[in-house]
Amino acid sequence: MKPLPALRAAGRAASFLSYITGAILGQTVRLRLSKTARTRRARADWLQRVAAGCARILHLKINRFGTLPNSGLIVANHLSYIDIILLAAQRPCVFVSKEEVRSWPIFGRCASLGGTIFIDRKHRGDVAAVADVMRAALDEGVLVVLFPEGTSSGGSSVLPFKSSLLEPAMHVSHPVTAIALSYALAEGSVPNEICYWRDMTLLPHLLNVWIKSLIYATLRCGIARPRQGDRKSLARELHDEVAALHAASSRELGMGLPQPVEQPTPILVSRLPAAAEAQRP
């Protein structure tokens, strides 16, 4: 590791660990002392503040296209734990996550304190039970985020959606928004250094992330609307919409790194292919 990147990584690591430790301790005390702090809305508000601070420390530059809703269900592709920072920094929201994340160092604790809805996919009954928890959060007006791929990927394509993970979405009357996430670097490899997948381990990956001078993130939103149909048709519909949005971002990144967007133009979707044809402001 060269001296400058090494110093950058050390400084970011110190800032990140100091910031996140203080946030965790503060939230732990609040949850013990205040009943209000235990609501999902309050937890989502806390997570947004923490994520915004993490985004600043990581020098995460975010471009958003389309309208990100304030409530309802979001369905997105999944590339990295950075996705949680990216989305939570934009809006107060709670995430639906696999049970294994609960035991992760730092991130697992933040997930629990932030009101994450954990799902044990090994037990079919747990998938059904999550629907009631999701409905309660949505009825509170909290934005709920789901990653139906069921795992993270290297970002070259959107993996097939697991229809079982969309079962809870069949039982809510709130609008569902498809969103595509993507990343870019001036130097380095997004699949190898930003995406967290395959057999990667957390600490070496974090070191790579801390080294980066800037991480460019694109968040491309479809239109929030109610969904109908059985869970398999819903999985195909949402997958195709996220894939179309993802393809639009991939084409744009192929033309160069994104420029800052202060007032993103909403994406108007009258049919699925139009979701991929967002016009850059």
- Structure confidence at residue 6 (pLDDT): 82
Of 43-47, 234-238, 261-265, give the lowest mean pLDDT range: 261-265
Average pLDDT value for the chain:
86
pLDDT at 39 over 70: yes
User: What is the average per-residue pLDDT within 184-198?
Assistant: 93
pLDDT bin (cut points 50, 70, 90) of residue 34 is: very high
Q: What percent of the chain has pLDDT over 90?
A: 64
- Structure confidence at residue 263 (pLDDT): 39
The predicted-structure confidence for 144-158, as pLDDT tens digits, reads as follows 999 999 999 999 999
Pairing of strands 176-184, 93-98: unpaired
Query: Six-digit token pair at 256?
Result: 């160069």
The predicted-structure confidence for 63-119, as pLDDT tens digits, reads as follows 999 999 999 999 999 999 999 999 999 999 999 998 889 999 899 999 999 999 998
Give the Cα separation of 87 and 111 in Å (integer): 13
Burial (CB count within 10 angstroms: exposed 0-12, middle 13-18, buried 19+), residue 239 = buried
Under DSSP, the state recorded for 165 is G
Pairing of strands 143-146, 72-76: parallel
pLDDT at 278 over 50: no
- CA torsion angle 170 175 176 179 (round to 10): -170
pLDDT at 169 over 50: yes
The predicted-structure confidence for 115-141, as pLDDT tens digits, reads as follows 999 988 777 667 777 888 888 888 888
Residues near 58 by Cβ (< 8 Å), separated by ≥ 6? Answer: 12, 16, 82, 85, 209, 210, 212, 215
- Structure confidence at residue 3 (pLDDT): 60
Q: Which of 91, 276, 71, 50 is nearest to 182 (CA)?
A: 276
User: What is the average per-residue pLDDT within 158-165?
Assistant: 90
- CA torsion angle 95 244 128 150 (round to 10): -70
- Structure confidence at residue 124 (pLDDT): 67
Of 199 and 172, more confident? 199
pLDDT bin (cut points 50, 70, 90) of residue 27 is: very high
pLDDT bin (cut points 50, 70, 90) of residue 259 is: low
Cβ(1)–Cβ(211) below 8 Å: yes
Of 7-21, 183-197, 245-259, give the lowest mean pLDDT range: 245-259
- Structure confidence at residue 132 (pLDDT): 83
Q: Which of 14, 81, 17, 49 is nearest to 217 (CA)?
A: 81
- Structure confidence at residue 260 (pLDDT): 52
User: What is the average per-residue pLDDT within 164-176?
Assistant: 78
